[in-house]
Amino acid sequence: MHLPPLRAGGVATLAFVALALAASACGGDNPGKTDGGMASMQDAPEGAIRVDLVNWAVKPAQASIKAGEVTFWAVHTMEHMHGENEGGATHDLQVMKRGSDGALSLVGQVQGLRMGDEESLTLTLEPGEYELACNVVEKVGDQAIGHYAKGMHTTFTVTA
């Protein structure tokens, strides 16, 4: 007795649905957004700090900057591989400031960057300790995959 051949297809379809759900759950609501206005740029905006978003790391081109207006250029780079069913179809960039009590509060973010997507984010930052992170939590198969827990966060310092 053989398994019906549609089984593999069925599994693939389920995986696709899970991915689609994950994508819509973590904010694919960027189309039409105009406040960034630079989504189609191929090169980093002048003076911007490139931040690569990969499985599973947030990698800014520099770890600190002077306070003031700061532009991050979030890139879900093509130059990395995704293992099968490991997730990571979309990434966010959350910029969070660490308060005196140690708690992180959101300063600004871009969400739902698919592989090859890039978007700039300009913020006015006060001196302090920050964290650059991706807080996407997606469902892959039966597993909930939290990108932050996987390692998608790094310290970023803003100096006076």
The residues that touch Cu ion, with contacts defined as CB under 5 A, are: 91, 134, 136, 147, 152
Q: Which is nearer to Cu ion, 19 or 128 (CB)?
A: 19
d(CA 138, CA 88): 8
- DSSP states along 93-115: EEEEEEPTTS-EEEEEEEEEEET
Which residue, 120 or 135, is less far from Cu ion as judged by CB? 135
Q: Are 81 and 43 in contact (CB under 8 A)?
A: no
Considering the complex, what minimum distance in angstroms separates the CB of residue 115 from Cu ion?
11
Q: What is the residue whose two structure tokens read 């179809």?
A: 89
To the nearest whole angstrom, how small is the minimum distance from the Cβ of residue 92 to Cu ion? 6
Nearer to Cu ion, 125 or 136 (CB): 136
Q: Which is nearer to Cu ion, 66 or 114 (CB)?
A: 114
To the nearest whole angstrom, how small is the minimum distance from the Cβ of residue 38 to Cu ion? 21
> % helix / strand / coil in the chain, to the nearest 5?
15, 45, 40
Residue pair 42/78 in contact (Cβ under 8 Å)? The answer is: no
Minimum distance of Cu ion from residue 68's CB (angstroms): 27
